[in-house]
Amino acid sequence: MHEMAIAESMLEIVEATARRNAAARVATVWLELGALSHVEARALVFCFDAVTRGSLAEGATLEIVTLPGEAWCMPCGDRVPLQRRGDPCPRCGSYQLEVVRGEEMRVKEIAIA
Amino acid sequence: MCTTCGCGHGEVRIEGVPSDGHDDVHRHSDGTVHAHAHGHGGGAHWHRVDDGARHGTVHDQGHTPFRTLTGGLGAVHAHGVPLARIVAIERDILAKNNAFAATNRQLFADRGTFVLNLVSSPGSGKTTLLVRTVAALDGRVPVAVIEGDQQTTRDADRIRATGVPAVQINTGKGCHLDAQMVGDAIAALPTDSGGLLFIENVGNLVCPAAFDLGEAHKVVILSVTEGEDKPLKYPDMFHAADLLLVNKVDLAPYVDFDVDAAIGYARRVRPGLPAMCVSATTGEGLDAWIEWLLHGAATAKAARDQSVEALRRRVGELESELARRAPGAPGA
């Protein structure tokens, strides 16, 4: 959902940083995407390609770091992996889970030249 | 225009007037955005880097779709990124919307207004429920409404017909409201303190989940004609909500809908989600909803009054101090 929009948002963030650091171009962008976030990685790559044409980031490599989903399971009293919202605890099968990780959508860093 | 969504660029209207007070975040050197695919040469390449994966090979600008590297970003840096400076950013992609939402939230706190973001699929009965709610509130607290739809002012017109101020946001091609649109719409509403502000989001069970508008709570409305498994099929929205209203319960005998199952499914993705069954047409269940609203409004108003009171006390203290230190000085 909104991958084109998100690519544009990323470009804005990346360009601002690159300009502040007097860069001629952006070589690489590292993006952290949580497994439970609202974005589909493949669609984002497609859109990033389209959106960066003619910008400082044209031709940049997009590195997507997929962060795993994690939840606090109340019956287990521990953190458990969570692949998808709506899944039960993989250990005890309970749905009493609170997501603690995996919702990130963050531009982590860039490589500039 | 949505701050993170290019869709609807230039087409957002508030009360029929194009909303143009935004930064143009999509300006490129050639003035256009191309949406068609390009070949591999010179384009972005996707390399999936998973935490804790097996040790892989050096990434290159080659043709394999992705490589797995271990150890997170440190390994990537060690493995062949050409001489270049790494600049940390750590910026949340939705930061811009969140900043507008924070501004909205502060304004609502300053006014002591209880703000709700009503979300659901189209046709769940949000507007009818609002009309009914306003009538039931019967002027006990000030009420205002912000309506969101792609087109038409029909919903805002319906609300205004009840005597309540309403502003219509038309998103054009946009599929959700964002905090910047809401901030602009607030400017068109009366500035009464206290009371309730309802934001009726665009009918959409997917997109609005991601966008904070500055509200106190998202209220998700699911009608009995929609199917009890919707919370499992659209988990993000139910996860984001703080209250579930099961609407159109007067039709429950005529459709195959298990209310308990629906609430149970919702609580799988959002443990402990409070739920109420209502009918906007018959009025069934409305008392509990109204009570919840009035309680929220009273809490918001009390919080504001407390902060105003604290400020007054502080002013009093400062004035006393001034009088002590500089008797006879202006203001002492």
Average pLDDT value over all residues in chain B:
81
- From CA B192, how far away is CA B114, in angstroms rounded? 12
Burial string for A66-83 (b: 16+ CB within 10 Å, else e) reads: bbebbbbbeebeeebebe
Q: What is the dihedral of CA B38, B41, B44, B50, to 10 degrees?
A: 120
pLDDT level of residue B13 (50, 70, 90 thresholds):
confident
Residue type, B313: R
Burial string for A7-25 (b: 16+ CB within 10 Å, else e) reads: bbbbbbbbbebbeeeebee
Cβ distance A85 to B235 less than 8 Å, yes or no, reads yes
Whose tokens are 């500035």? That residue is B191
Residue B40: pLDDT above 80? no
Residue B238: pLDDT above 90? yes
Residue B331: pLDDT above 80? no
Which of B55, B198, B60, B48 has its CA nearest to residue B119?
A: B198
**A17, containing H or E segment:** helix A3-20
pLDDT score at B26 = 39
**pLDDT tens-place string over residues B48-107:** 444 433 222 233 333 323 333 333 343 334 445 556 788 888 888 888 889 999 999 999
State percent of chain B over pLDDT 90: 62
Tokens for B13, please give them. Answer: 């209207």
Sheet holding A97-101, edge to edge: A78-81, A70-73, A97-101
- DSSP secondary structure letters along B18-59: E---S--TT--TTS----S---STTS--EEEEETTPPP-PPP
pLDDT level of residue B268 (50, 70, 90 thresholds):
very high
The dihedrals phi and psi of B151, each to the nearest 5 degrees, come to -140, 165
**pLDDT tens-place string over residues A52-88:** 999 999 999 999 999 999 999 999 999 999 998 889 9
pLDDT score at B85 = 83
Cβ contacts of B271 within 8 Å, gap of 6 or more: A74, A95, A96, A97, A98
Which is more confidently placed, A97 or B4? Answer: A97
Q: Worst-scoring range by mean pLDDT, A58-62, A108-112, B170-174, B238-242? A: B170-174
**Chain B, 79-98: which have a CB under 8 Å from a chain A CB?**
81-96
The shortest CB-CB distance from B30 to any of A12, A54, A66 is to: A54
Chain B residues close to A4, C-beta within 8 Å: 6-7, 33, 35
Mean pLDDT of B144-159: 92
Mean pLDDT of A92-113: 93
Helix runs in chain B, H state only:
73-78, 95-111, 126-137, 154-160, 179-186, 230-233, 235-240, 259-269, 286-325
Tokens for A101, please give them. Answer: 């990780």
Sign of CA dihedral B15, B201, B141, B296: negative
Q: Worst-scoring range by mean pLDDT, B39-43, B161-165, B313-317, B318-322? A: B39-43
pLDDT level of residue B327 (50, 70, 90 thresholds):
confident
pLDDT level of residue B322 (50, 70, 90 thresholds):
very high
- From CA B80, how far away is CA B47, in angstroms rounded? 14
**B218, containing H or E segment:** strand B217-223
Q: Worst-scoring range by mean pLDDT, B27-31, B36-40, B112-116, B303-307? A: B36-40
**pLDDT tens-place string over residues B94-143:** 888 899 999 999 999 999 999 999 999 999 999 999 999 999 999 999 99
Query: B5, B179 in Cβ contact below 8 A?
Result: no
pLDDT score at A65 = 93
pLDDT score at B180 = 93
Cβ distance B44 to A59 less than 8 Å, yes or no, reads yes
Which is more confidently placed, B19 or B228? Answer: B228
- From CA A54, how far away is CA B273, in angstroms rounded? 47
pLDDT score at B82 = 54
The shortest CB-CB distance from A97 to any of B36, B37, B271 is to: B271
pLDDT score at A85 = 87
Question: Nearest C-alpha of chain B: how many angstroms from A92?
Answer: 14
Q: Does A99 touch chain B (CB under 8 A)?
A: yes
pLDDT score at A2 = 73
What is the Cα Rg of chain A in Å? 17
pLDDT score at B20 = 60
Question: Which of B30, B46, B70, B236 to probe by mutation at the A interface, max A CB count within 10 Å?
Answer: B46
Cβ distance A50 to B36 less than 8 Å, yes or no, reads yes
pLDDT score at A74 = 94
So what's the architecture of A3-69+101-112 in CATH?
2-Layer Sandwich (3.30)
Residue B11: pLDDT above 60? yes
- From CA A23, how far away is CA A58, in angstroms rounded? 13
Tokens for A106, please give them. Answer: 């963050």
Chain A residues close to B207, C-beta within 8 Å: 1-2
Residue A7: pLDDT above 60? yes
pLDDT score at A1 = 54
- From CA A28, how far away is CA A50, in angstroms rounded? 16
Domains defined along chain B, listed by start? 97-295 (3.40.50.300)
User: Taking CB atoms and an 8 Å cut-off, how many pairs form between chains A and B?
Assistant: 173
pLDDT level of residue B14 (50, 70, 90 thresholds):
confident
Whose tokens are 């009493």? That residue is A96
pLDDT score at B192 = 77
Chain A residues close to B44, C-beta within 8 Å: 45, 48-49, 52, 59-62
The dihedrals phi and psi of B21, each to the nearest 5 degrees, come to -85, 45
**Pairing relationship of beta strands A70-73 and A97-101 according to DSSP bridges:** antiparallel
pLDDT score at B205 = 94
- Find residue B169's DSSP bridge partners: B14, B148
pLDDT level of residue B1 (50, 70, 90 thresholds):
very low
Cβ contacts of A14 within 8 Å, gap of 6 or more: A26, A29, A56, A57, A60, A107, A110, B89
Tokens for B52, please give them. Answer: 């804790």
pLDDT score at B175 = 86
Residue B216: pLDDT above 80? yes
Which is more confidently placed, B153 or B242? Answer: B242
pLDDT score at B42 = 37
Chain B residues close to A74, C-beta within 8 Å: 271
Residue B305: pLDDT above 60? yes
**Chain A, 3-42: which have a CB under 8 Å from a chain B CB?**
4-6, 8-10, 12-14, 17-18, 21, 23, 27-28, 30, 38, 41-42
The dihedrals phi and psi of B306, each to the nearest 5 degrees, come to -60, -45
Domain boundaries, chain A: 3-69+101-112
